[in-house]
C-alpha cells in the first residue's frame, strides 16, 4: 500500500502535461478533534490519490488545513468524499481567484503535524472553537469604515508587502507565532473598546487568532470569513467595493493572485515597481524575494551575483559546496537578506484611524 509520492517534480510535470489535466485550486481548513491523525491522513491520501488530487495538506489532532488542486472531472466526487467525514460535511471550499500558473501543485503531500497552524501557545484552557464573529464582504466593508475599528493583517511581512487592505496595520513579522504577542502588545492593549477586525489569506490564521484574543478577554473580535480569497470572489460576484490593493500571496506554484491592478511593492534588487515573487535559483539558498524581469535576466533568477556564480558551477561541485550547510534560516526569513538592497521593513501605523486617513488623502 503506497501512501506517498515517489516521482520527481519533472516526471510529474511531464505526466500532467501529457494527460492534459485541468485543475481547480482549492483551500479549506477546519478545527476539529481528530483522535488519530495518522489514520485519517492515510485515509485521505488513498482517497485523494485515486481522484488525482494534488497539493499540500496538514493534519493534526486540532484539525485539517488543505491547499490543493482537484481535477475538474473529479470535483463532484471529491465533495462527496468530504461530506462522508462528519466534521467536513458541507465545508466551505475557497476557490482560487485566478489560475495564473500552468499547475498550482505538482504532487500530493499530506503530513501529520502537532498543530495545523503553529502558534507557540501552551494553554490547555484555550478553546480554538470559541472564535470571533465572521464577517461577509459587505459587513467587512461597512465595519472597516467605522473610525472605532482596528483592522489588522494577520499575514507575514512578505505577504502583506505585495497586497493588503486599505488602512490595515501590517505587522513586520515572520510567523503567525510571532504575530500573536506582537499584535496584542502594540495594537490591542488600550483599545479594548474598539472593534477588532482581522484578515488573512483564507481564514485559518484569523480563526485561531480571534479565538485567542477572545480567550484573552477582548470582546469585539471579528474576522473576515474565508479571508482575502472569498472576499475578492464575493466582491466580483456581488458588485461590492474592493478595498484590497495589490496581489494576494498564495502558497503554491503561482505565489500570488491579482486582486487589483495596483502594484504596491518594488523589485528587491533594483527598486522598480514589481510584485512578482521568486525563489533564488541557487539550490543552497532558495531565498524568497521580489524580482522584476530585468533583474531575473541579469541575475539568472538568483538573489545575488554570488548565488549566480554558484549556479554556473558543475552540478556535482554545487552539491559539494552545500553539503552539510543549513539554509533553513534563510528560507524561514523569507524576503530578508542583506543582499536585497530594496527590501524595506514595513512601518506599523500608530493607529488604524490615522492610517485610514492617510490612505484616503493619498488616493
CA distance 191 to 226: 25
Check if the beta carbon of residue 69 is closer than 8 Å to that of residue 94.
Answer: no
CA distance 348 to 172: 7
Q: Which residues are catalytic?
A: 200
Q: What is the DSSP string of 76-91?
A: HHHHHHHHTSGGGTT-
Check if the beta carbon of residue 152 is closer than 8 Å to that of residue 196.
Answer: yes
Nearest one of 170, 139, 321, 325 to 235, comparing CA atoms: 139
> CA dist 95 to 100, 105, 115, 189, Å?
13, 14, 24, 36
CA distance 279 to 132: 36
Check if the beta carbon of residue 168 is closer than 8 Å to that of residue 358.
Answer: no
Nearest one of 302, 303, 307 to 321, comparing CA atoms: 307
Q: At a CB cut-off of 8 Å and minimum separation 6, what does 68 contact?
A: 25, 26, 27, 48, 53, 54, 55, 56, 57, 105, 108
The C-alpha angle with vertex 221 and arms to 219 and 224, in degrees rounded to 5, equals 165
Grid coordinates representing 273? 515597481
Secondary structure of residue 290 in the 3-state scheme: strand
Amino acid at each position: 500500500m503506497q501512501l506517498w509520492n515517489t516521482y520527481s517534480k519533472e516526471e510529474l510535470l511531464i505526466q500532467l502535461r501529457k494527460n492534459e489535466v485541468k485543475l481547480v485550486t482549492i483551500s479549506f481548513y477546519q478545527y476539529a478533534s481528530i483522535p488519530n491523525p495518522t489514520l485519517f491522513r492515510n485515509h485521505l491520501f488513498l482517497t485523494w490519490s485515486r481522484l488525482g488530487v494534488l497539493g499540500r495538506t496538514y493534519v493534526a489532532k486540532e484539525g485539517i488545513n488543505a491547499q490543493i488542486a482537484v481535477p475538474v472531472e473529479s470535483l463532484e466526487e471529491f465533495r462527496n468524499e468530504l461530506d462522508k467525514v462528519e466534521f467536513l460535511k458541507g465545508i466551505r471550499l475557497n476557490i482560487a481567484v485566478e489560475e495564473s500558473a500552468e499547475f498550482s501543485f505538482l504532487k500530493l503531500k499530506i503530513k501529520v503535524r502537532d498543530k495545523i497552524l503553529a502558534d507557540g501557545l501552551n494553554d490547555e484552557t484555550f478553546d480554538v472553537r470559541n472564535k470571533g464573529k465572521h464577517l461577509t464582504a459587505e459587513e467587512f466593508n461597512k465595519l472597516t469604515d467605522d473610525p472605532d475599528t482596528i483592522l489588522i493583517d494577520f499575514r507575514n511581512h512578505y505577504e502583506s508587502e505585495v497586497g493588503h487592505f486599505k488602512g490595515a496595520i501590517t505587522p513586520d513579522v515572520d510567523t503567525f507565532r510571532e504575530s500573536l504577542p506582537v499584535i496584542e502588545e502594540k495594537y490591542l492593549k488600550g483599545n479594548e473598546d474598539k472593534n477588532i477586525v482581522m484578515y488573512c489569506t483564507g481564514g485559518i490564521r484569523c480563526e485561531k487568532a480571534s479565538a485567542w484574543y477572545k480567550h484573552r478577554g477582548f470582546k469585539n473580535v471579528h474576522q473576515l470569513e474565508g479571508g482575502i480569497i472569498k472576499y475578492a470572489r464575493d466582491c466580483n460576484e456581488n458588485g461590492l467595493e474592493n478595498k484590497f490593493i495589490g496581489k494576494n500571496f498564495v502558497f503554491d506554484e503561482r505565489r500570488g493572485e491579482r486582486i487589483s491592478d495596483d502594484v504596491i511593492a518594488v523589485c528587491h534588487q533594483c527598486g522598480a515597481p514589481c510584485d512578482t515573487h521568486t525563489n533564488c535559483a541557487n539550490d543552497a539558498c532558495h531565498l524568497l524575494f521580489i524580482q522584476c524581469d530585468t533583474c531575473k535576466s541579469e541575475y539568472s533568477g538568483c538573489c545575488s551575483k554570488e548565488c549566480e556564480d554558484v549556479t554556473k558551477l558543475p552540478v556535482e561541485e554545487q552539491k559539494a559546496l552545500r553539503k552539510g550547510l543549513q539554509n533553513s534560516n534563510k528560507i524561514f526569513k523569507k524576503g530578508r537578506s542583506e543582499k536585497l538592497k530594496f527590501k524595506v521593513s514595513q512601518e506599523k501605523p500608530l493607529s488604524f484611524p490615522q492610517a485610514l486617513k492617510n490612505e484616503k488623502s493619498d488616493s
